[in-house]
Chain A
Amino acid sequence: MAWRELWNDELIRLRLLLIVMLAALGLLAVNLWRMQVARGALYQHNLGEQSIRRVRTAGARGRILARDGALLADNKPSYQVVLYLEELRQPGRGWTRTLRKVETVLQDISRLLERPSHLTADDIQNHIRARLPLPLVAWRNIDETARARLAERASTWRGVDVVAVPLRTYPAGTLAAHVLGYVSRANPPPDDETAARYYEPDVAGKEGIERRYDDELRGQAGEKVVIVDVSGFRYRQHLPAILERFRPREAVPGRDVILTLDTNVQARVEQALGTQPGAAVVVDPANGDVLAMASAPSFDPNEIAAGLPPELWQALVNDPRQPLLPRALAGQYAPGSTFKPVTALAALESGRSTPEVTYACPGYFMLGRARFNCWENLAGHGVQNLHQALQHSCNVYFFNLGLRCGPEAIHAMAIQFGFGHQTGIDLGREMSGLVPDDAWKRRVQHDGWRDGDTCNMAIGQGALLVTPLQMAMFAAALANGGSVFQPRLVAGVRDPVSGVTRTVPPRLLHTLAVDPARLRVVREGLRAVVNTSTGSGKKAALDNIVVAGKTGTAEHGAKGAGQKWTWMIAFVPYERPRYALAMLVEEGVSGGSTVAPLVHDVLYDLLAKPALLQGEG
């Protein structure tokens, strides 16, 4: 009864109603606390996830410098025409109208620039789907005139802009192109590499130092964050409430690579080679530094970095003269007579011959019923000792010498000089050449080693193959008294931020197991090659500076076809060599007549001319 009366009191009922209402508001407050305070961070994170896009940005690519400080690879601004789709957005559901608008704008710009647009409707649609907050690049590398034309219209053209992006350039043009290599647009990074869903196109080294040192040059990608609205368009205003949880990461610029190349030597060597297929390598015999490494014909890495049209790229790749081939380390050739010092040292070290041993050269050599001609096959060289045989490059003497010491001795000496293996230069695509032996011949030609093979190998022919780089290192070892170095192409890597340079020390591989007196005999022979009137390399001689060298002319292709690889190796000055070099011309007449004059020109400019100028001064 009492309860019933209690309920019947309207004021009591009102009070109860008030309590219920306030409790309900309290329930809302409790839930708000749970959402906003207890789990606020989670909501803030999720909100960021939907309205933040991370964009990967490439670090500035490191530069490549020569030892003299000359810039060989650098970055310069290149101008692109870009469209901001958010500003071209047309009202309406879907993208059809916006797409049409973009195409109209592209046509207008195309007329103004007098350059066709390469963007297809598919390209634009892909951009809308995958990279909407980023500008759409319509034209790359536009020139000054085009920029001026666009600038006049820029104020009236909504959503169109000209932006500068770094472009890889090679300030020295084609200089050392094969060493530097080139870059082109990198593939998008794999999804799991970074949280960034978008990337800005990056370049990657595809050949040469650009490829080999890509990791150093490339630097570390950074991340910038872009706020997007509900349609996926970039929101340009600053929204600190979202951004404070997503700090962008700065890109780290790549490191500079400092080469051992000397631009002066490199330029001189390239000039001597010209455009005829060939190669040349100049090294410092004291430490194995590569001062010049050239292959001809060459190419312009600037054109490739800027983006060659596909048809021109195909033409370059399919050019029968192979301008992209780095012949200096990837070309394999028979060394011909330039190999004779190996045979000479092998024979002397084997103890089966001495410098005084003589052979008579009638102009040919009979091995059983087979006739091997000396290159001077009309009169013959007459009776020759080792010195004379080197000086005149007498084949008959070396046939005898080879047979006398045997192929194993020649093979072992060639291996000691580094033939048959990669030199280990810090650059891709190096070939190892070939120093054949009995096992190789049985494996590949299914035939045993014969004396004829020994004769061929003794004069640097047959299956023997070397690279111009190997020949230069060979010349260096002869020059420095028997130290075989690993060629050093990269002197150091410099961090542009800290300024710290990590140097790469020269690397001595080993010292030849050769008696210095015997090596001296060979060196003297090489001096006579250049400095006597009957020497085969006399055209390389300089007036006041003693050059030592060896020429070579290797026949290849079908027998009697007259195709010749012409060589010369040299080191200079004879007493304290500063340069050791190897030069090859693929289709020369002979080493002495084709290559020696080129070597002369190079050495004259490098040594004789400065000395002359100094003398005058």
Chain B
Amino acid sequence: MTARWIRPVRRMDWILLLAVLALLVTGVLFIFSASTRSVDLPLYKKQIGWALAGLACFLGLLYADYYRLRDAAWWLYGTSLLLLVLVLVPGIGRKVYGAYRWLSLLGLQFQPSELAKLATIIALARFMSRPGREMNAAGNIGGAVMIVLPPVLLIAAEPDLSTASVLLLTAIVMLYIAGLPMPLLGLATLTGLLAVGLLLGLLFWAPAWLPLSDYQKERILVFLDPGRDPLNHGWNAVQSALAVGSGGLTGKGFLKGTQDVLGYLPRTVAPTDFIFSVIAEEVGFVGSAVLLSLYAVVLSAGLRAAAAARDKLGRLLAAGLTGMLFCHVFINIAMTIGLMPIMGIPLPLMSYGGSFMISTMAALGLAQSVYVRRYT
């Protein structure tokens, strides 16, 4: 009996857990550093709570047999769609910075889009893992697209284009693993590039036709030309780059970063979307490289789980969840160092935030659930 309880823990990827714990601790430390000026309840204490809740979630899903999700997949998917609709209803959804992204449930605030990401991945994995559903038949591909599109469009309507694009990219990763023919994948890539080209073209020649809000347009323009509006729309991008660049090789030292202390990095974003700027300023290139290595460990472990999965459902689940985490890590760091336009994408395991912490840890737990149930 005892062995049955110990078995999942013994079979799990311990290097992954160590990397995750290291990232969580680092995250809490630098949220502390980034919010020393804050007069509110100390954010780092809250984050410790979220990290513990996330760990519990991780362990819970580790023990739960992911195969049972097959039955719950459509319920989860349906519920998340319902919540995504509810959040758009004024009076029910909470408006923050001009977008309806939050729901209040039993006194807790959470973002339905976080649940929707997981639910969509699960539903898609289930759909594509059914025997005989090869992803080279038009009907099957169409079915997968029909599963992905509703949550993507609903999230885009909040509006939260960043999360919507993450979900879209994750779905493409899953389609790819599921065996989407390479010509079709190439076509999808080409379509994506064309869409970006069209977007930029419209932005410059006919901005009025572009279905984007002004701040979204500005963010893209500022990305293309950082000096365009340094005191307003370009502020965060410029200040984040200053923070990262001034970190130098070894950084200014823990709690010795100045960009956040002096308020140049706004205190609303420093502990959340721009936590990496705070870290890079204080630990420099050496610390940033260590951080990237830890993420490399986490992502490799995810794909390792996918490779070791006993069935296609597990493989697609692990690959999809890892793909989602990768999108977050890459986009977030790329935007803080000026490689991508500013987007509201938090950094997994580091950025302050409850919903995202839970969904990240759940994703990792689910992937490990696949890993511990491998054959060998």
Contacts and interface: CB of A to CB of B under 8 A. Distances in A.
B155 interface: no
A50 B177 contact: no
A242 B322 CA distance: 39
B261 interface: yes
B337 A241 contact: no
Interface of B: prevailing SS:
helix
A396 B258 CA distance: 91
B179 A8 contact: yes
Given A29-B292, A37-B248, A40-B249, A14 B303 contact: yes
A35 B337 contact: yes
Contacts of A312: none
Given A36-B249, A40-B249, A10 B244 contact: no
Nearest to B325: A21
Interface of A: prevailing SS:
helix
Interface in A1-44: 7-8, 10-11, 13-14, 17-18, 21-22, 24-25, 27-29, 31-33, 35-37, 39-44
Interface string B292-328: 1001100110010011000010010001001100100
A40 B264 contact: no
B176 A13 contact: yes
A291 to B, nearest CB: 60
A32 B261 CA distance: 22
A227 interface: yes
Given A14-B306, A241-B258, A230 B264 contact: yes
A10 B288 contact: no
Contacts of B322: 21
A242 B258 contact: yes
Given A32-B289, A43-B241, A37 B249 contact: yes
Nearest to B242: A47
Contacts of B354: none
A359 B164 CA distance: 124
A427 to B, nearest CB: 51
A235 interface: yes
Nearest to B326: A21
Interface string A216-241: 00000000000111110001000111
B248 A40 contact: yes
A36 B330 contact: no
Contact of A50 (B264, B288, B299): B264
Contacts, number: 133
A32 B264 contact: no
Interface in A460-507: none
Contacts of A235: 261-262
Query: Most chain-B CB neighbours within 10 Å: which of A17, A27, A44?
Result: A17
Interface residues on A, range: 35 or more
B242 A17 contact: no
Contacts of A373: none
Contacts of A37: 248-249, 285
A228 B262 contact: yes
Contacts of A25: 292, 295-296, 299, 329-330
Interface in B20-48: none
Contacts of A275: none
A51 interface: yes
B198 to A, nearest CB: 24
Contacts of B181: 7
A32 B246 contact: no
B263 interface: yes
Given A8-B179, A241-B256, A241-B257, A42 B245 contact: yes
Given A14-B307, A241-B253, A35 B261 contact: no
Contacts of A125: none
Contacts of B296: 21-22, 25
A14 B177 contact: yes
Contact of B244 (A18, A36, A230): A36
B284 interface: yes
Given A21-B299, A28-B334, A40 B256 contact: no
A117 interface: no
Interface in B336-352: 337-339
Interface in B120-174: 173
A533 interface: no
A28 B247 contact: no
B13 to A, nearest CB: 15
B213 to A, nearest CB: 22
A46 interface: yes
A32 B288 contact: yes
Query: Most chain-B CB neighbours within 10 Å: which of A14, A33, A46?
Result: A14
Given A11-B307, A24-B326, A29-B289, A230 B176 contact: no
A27 B333 CA distance: 11
B30 to A, nearest CB: 16
B280 interface: yes
B217 interface: no
A13 B289 CA distance: 27
B326 A32 contact: no
A33 B246 contact: no
B247 A36 contact: yes
Nearest to B259: A47
B206 interface: no
A47 B246 contact: yes
A32 B246 CA distance: 11
Contacts of A35: 241, 244-245, 337-338
B70 interface: no
Sort A-B residue pairs by CB-CB distance and give the 8 closest, nearest first.
A43-B245, A230-B263, A241-B252, A36-B285, A40-B248, A229-B262, A47-B246, A35-B245
7 contacts: A28-B330, A28-B334, A36-B244, A37-B248, A43-B242, A51-B262, A239-B258
